[in-house]
Amino acid sequence: MVLQYDFDQLVERVVLLEHYLYALMKEHQSMIETQQQRDLLTTDEVAKYLRVDVTTVRRWIKEGAMDAVALPHTGKRRAYRVKKATLDRLLGKVLPL
């Protein structure tokens, strides 16, 4: 009887731990996704940061001077996202510290 009670308590604790770990994993995944979203900049954000026109940024991307991720589109304009690391790397080449 005592062993069965201890076993049931152990199972209950394992189940609680599984739920806790699952919640932690979901929270961690959410934090990673949020960080990844912050690491991707729109062409408008890049243009504002570099103090150039968005057309210039788009031209740099099309000419291959700036790496970007092309998003699927249905309109007449393709949407791009630039990784913040790419922008930092480009600025490091232009403005060495």
Predicted local confidence at residue 86, as pLDDT: 87
Question: CA angle 53-49-35, nearest 5°?
Answer: 125
pLDDT of residue 90: 82
Q: What is the pLDDT of residue 46?
A: 94
Torsion, Cα of 76, 82, 87, 88 (10° steps)? 170
Question: 57: how many CB neighbours lie within 10 A of its CB?
Answer: 25
Distance (Å, whole) CA 42 – CA 35: 15
Helix (H, G, I), strand (E, B) or coil at 80: strand
Residues of the chain with pLDDT under 70: 1-5, 32-37, 93-97
Domains of the chain, earliest start first: 40-94 (1.10.1660)
pLDDT of residue 66: 92
